[in-house]
């Protein structure tokens, strides 16, 4: 099991109500994906250096409890769908101090070359394929 992503809410991420603005959760999902790849031994810059892009096809987030400036949160990432062409990821954001689930989300991605043409990574990039396949929940 890979370590969850963890950090504190920055002041600039909060809104007039003093809570993390909803748009920042989508950024946190991206930070979590980058963290996951580094933890799994395949930093995102190494993937891009091989000419592979992972554009977002869709993203959604449900907000359950607010996070405030200075709150430390963790994000658990689960790969729920993967076939070598498309990738589905789920996220659970928790307040570290209280353990409360603050948000849940999901994103869908595909693998493309630099011209955004779809790639099947299983045979051409087996090390990258295995990072996702080996960490997918069954």
Determine the number of helices (DSSP H) and then strands (DSSP E) in the chain. 4, 5
Model confidence, pTM: 0.94
Q: Is the pLDDT of residue 58 over 80?
A: yes
CATH number, domain 5-134: 3.10.129.10
Q: Is the pLDDT of residue 115 over 80?
A: yes
| Catalytic residue list | 15
Question: Is residue 40 within 8 Å of 135, Cβ to Cβ?
Answer: yes
Q: Is the pLDDT of residue 1 over 80?
A: no
| Rounded Cα gap, residues 102 and 67, in angstroms | 7
Tokens 């353990």 map to which residue? 99
Question: Is residue 82 within 8 Å of 133, Cβ to Cβ?
Answer: yes
Give residues with Cβ within 8 angstroms of 74, minimum separation 6: 4, 5, 6, 93, 94, 96
Q: Is the pLDDT of residue 138 over 80?
A: no
Q: Tens digit of pLDDT for each residue in 13-22?
A: 999 999 999 9
Strand runs (DSSP E) across 23-96, as ranges?
56-63, 72-82, 86-95
Across the strands, what pairs with 53? Answer: 112
């Amino acid at each position: 099991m890979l370590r969850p992503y963890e950090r504190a809410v920055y002041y600039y991420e909060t809104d007039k109500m003093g809570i993390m603005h909803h748009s920042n959760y989508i950024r946190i999902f991206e930070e979590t994906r980058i963290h996951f790849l580094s933890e799994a031994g395949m930093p995102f810059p190494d993937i891009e250096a091989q000419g592979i892009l992972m554009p977002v096809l869709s993203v959604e987030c449900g907000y359950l409890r607010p996070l405030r400036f200075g709150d430390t949160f963790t994000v658990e990432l689960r790969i729920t769908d993967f076939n070598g062409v498309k990738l589905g990821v789920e996220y659970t954001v928790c307040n570290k101090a209280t353990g409360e689930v603050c948000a849940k989300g999901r994103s869908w991605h595909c693998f493309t070359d630099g011209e955004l043409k779809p790639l099947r990574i299983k045979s051409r990039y087996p090390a990258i394929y295995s990072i996702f396949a080996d960490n997918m929940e069954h």
